[in-house]
């Protein structure tokens, strides 16, 4: 999965953040992938792409970021839940066509 984030704020970001991708599968399993990502110098208007490999299985993908220093939430401009997690989309495997 590749996610592009854009700094839409008026200022740059000058700290390290842990960016987490959560895969909530329909079978109730939850897989979390995280990376400590150096956001130092992430300027206003700049785009950055992040990549993860996710476990196979249908389910929702959510994105969250926290500041490494004190675990404070970093909120994206997208609609988020109470924990600051943004729903990116849903993975659904294609069903084989019956002949």
Question: pLDDT tens digits, the chain, 99 residues: what are they?
Answer: 888 888 888 888 888 888 889 999 888 888 888 877 767 778 888 898 888 888 888 999 999 988 889 999 988 888 888 888 999 999 888 765 666
C-beta atoms surrounding 79 within 10 Å:
7
Nearest to 9 by CA among 69, 59, 55, 75: 75
What integer pLDDT is reported at residue 85 of this predicted model? 93
Closest C-alpha to 75, from 3, 31, 1, 13: 13
Tokens of 65: 């970021």
What per-residue confidence (pLDDT) applies to 27? Answer: 87
Helices and strands (H and E) in the chain: how many: 0, 7
**Predicted pLDDT at 93:** 80
């Amino acid at each position: 999965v590749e996610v592009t984030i854009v700094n839409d704020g008026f200022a740059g970001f000058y700290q390290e953040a842990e960016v987490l991708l959560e895969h909530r599968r329909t079978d109730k399993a939850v897989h979390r992938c995280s990376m400590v990502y150096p956001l130092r110098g992430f300027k206003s208007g700049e785009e950055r792409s992040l990549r993860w490999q996710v476990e196979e299985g249908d389910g929702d993908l959510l994105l969250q970021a926290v500041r490494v220093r004190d675990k404070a939430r970093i909120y994206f401009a997208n609609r988020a839940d109470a924990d600051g997690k943004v729903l990116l989309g849903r993975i659904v495997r294609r069903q084989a066509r019956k002949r």
